[in-house]
A = this chain, B = another copy of it.
Amino acid sequence: MSSTASEQPRPVRFGILGCASIARKLERAIQLAPGATVAAVGSRSEAKARRFAADNGLDAGVRVHGSYEALLDDPDVDAVYLPLPTSLHVRWATAAAGRGKHVLLEKPTALCTADLDAIVAACEAASVQFMDSTMMMHNLRTGRMREVLADKDAIGDIRMINSMLSFHAHEDFLQNDIRVKPDLDALGALGDLGWYCIRATLWAVDYELPKTVTALREPVKNQAGVLLACGASMHWEDGKVATFTCSFLASSAMDVTVVGTKGSLRLTDFVIPYEETSAAFSVASKLGVKELAIGWGPQPSQHVVATDLPQEALMVQEFARLVRNIRDAGADPEGMWPAITRKTQVVVDAVKVSIDKGCQPVDVTG
């Protein structure tokens, strides 16, 4: 069915598959995003799904399913948002695609690239949209920073990148959270935090994969072998180098610094902006040193990007737009999103392989 010009397009009806705490944020984002609505919630028990619906003030019309299968069988669900533990992604993302549901998948998308490939292949076979839930990609700031990076007079050729992402987990998290459990999220901090550092780095270099990746030595693991803190360096053919460190054991830091031949770009809240309604970054360019090097400048200039919708709602809006294109206008799924997901996963894999090999360098092959 296609909508006429005078009609509002039918919203994309989301099913939330799993009631993880992050789902609360997405539920709100779906409600905020134009062209999207929460149609159903599914959990392993109906009671849990009902509690989620009640806790989040969902409309009485939102259907509540006592199993993931029941949610996927709901004919009035167009797309699923899937925040399950990573180890369950292959099973449920491919199942969703197999039932013709578009897939918005929480990160890290898979435990390894082969698993991700199975998910993406299922989405392609079903002609449904795939997108990972890396919200920062959709912040208006991200687009504005892309313009700065693309301006060769401002930044020039990128030479060095650093990113740091951390939060200080409480003892309860370190004992019980799915992100420290080997059977649920075996990638630990690398999957939960390193994912963003790697994505931001790839984003900065316009998704050119590095030639090699080398993990930093002495990653911190818990007793079950799950990473609590780690890092890596990435190296490109042209001499660019990027480093990142990520940690569940340090206070909140969300830094990206990109230094090019002509200038540099910095932000300290790259994953979650300090504020919902605006986000800032700084640019230093056309730098010079004063007489006798008694100072230099100009100092970085601050750029503030205002936004009406938070980045997660912008993500849902974009995802819903692509879904409507497919559902209502017969378009093909947008291939850019699974492609950048895959590059991110490939580098995550390379860091993991490097760690497993005692921090030896690993060649990256897309």
> Would you call B268 and A268 a contact (CB within 8 A)?
no
Binding-face segment, A75-83, A291-299, A324-332: A291-299
Residues of B within 8 A of A247 (CB): 159-160, 259
Q: Is the CB–CB distance between A253 and B243 below 8 Å?
A: no
For A294, the closest partner residue in chain B by CB is B276
Residues of B within 8 A of A253 (CB): 160, 257, 259, 264, 284
Give the contacting residue for A220; candidates B239, B284, B287, B296; CB below 8 A. B239
Residues of B within 8 A of A11 (CB): none
- Let me know if A241 and B260 touch, CB within 8 A: no
Residue of B nearest to A168 (CB): B261
| A361 at interface, CB cutoff 8 A | yes
A312 to chain B, nearest CB (A): 8
A202 at the interface (CB under 8 A from B): no
Tell me, in angstroms, the Cα distance from A216 to B236 when the chains sit together: 12
Residues of B within 8 A of A274 (CB): 295-297, 299
Residue A218 is within 8 A (CB to CB) of chain B in the complex: yes
| Shortest Cβ gap from A354 to chain B (Å) | 11
Given A164-B162, A217-B214, A245-B241 contact (CB < 8 Å): yes
Q: Judging by beta carbons under 8 Å apart, are A25 and B299 in contact?
A: no
Cα-based distance from A214 to B216 in the complex (angstroms): 8
Complex interface residues of chain A between 256 and 284 (CB less than 8 A to chain B)? 257, 259-264, 266, 268-269, 272-276, 284
Question: Cβ of A251 < 8 Å from any Cβ of B?
Answer: yes
Closest to A263 in B: B251
Complex CA distance for A239 and B216, rounded to whole angstroms: 12
Give the distance in Å from the alpha carbon of A276 to the alpha carbon of B294 in the complex.
6
The CA of A273 and the CA of B293, in the complex, are separated in Å by 10
Cβ-neighbour of A245 out of B243, B269, B273 (below 8 A): B243
Stretch of A101-109, A142-150, A227-235, A338-346 lying at the B interface = A227-235
Interface residue? A54 (CB, 8 A): no
Q: Are B293 and A272 in contact (CB under 8 A)?
A: yes
Option from B25, B269, B285, B295 in Cβ contact (under 8 Å) with A296: B269
Task: Tell me if A250 counts as interface (CB < 8 A to partner B).
Answer: yes
A229-B239 in contact given A251-B262, A296-B274 (Cβ < 8 Å)? yes
A273 to B252 CA separation, bound complex (whole angstroms):
26
A289 interfacial by beta-carbon distance below 8 Å: yes
- Determine the distance from Cα of A25 to Cα of B295 in the docked complex, in whole angstroms: 12
A212: CB under 8 A from chain B?
Answer: yes
Q: B-facing mask of A288-329, CB < 8 A → 1, else 0?
A: 010011111101100000000010000000000000000000
Cβ A233 vs Cβ B262 within 8 A: no
Is A166 on the interface with B (CB-CB < 8 A)?
yes
- Interface contact B233-A293, CB-CB below 8 Å: no
| Residue A249 interfacial (CB < 8 Å) | yes
| A264 contacts B251, C-beta separation under 8 Å | yes
Known pairs A160-B250, A229-B239, A251-B261. 8 more at Cβ < 8 A?
A164-B257, A217-B361, A218-B235, A231-B243, A247-B259, A250-B261, A251-B285, A252-B264
Per CB-CB distance, the 6 closest pairs between chain A and chain B, nearest first, are A159-B250, A252-B287, A253-B259, A243-B243, A250-B259, A160-B245
A contact residues vs B (CB 8 Å cutoff): 24-25, 28, 156, 159-160, 162, 164, 166-168, 212, 214, 216-218, 220, 229, 231, 233, 235, 239, 241, 243, 245, 247, 249-253, 255, 257, 259-264, 266, 268-269, 272-276, 284-285, 287, 289, 292-297, 299-300, 310, 359, 361
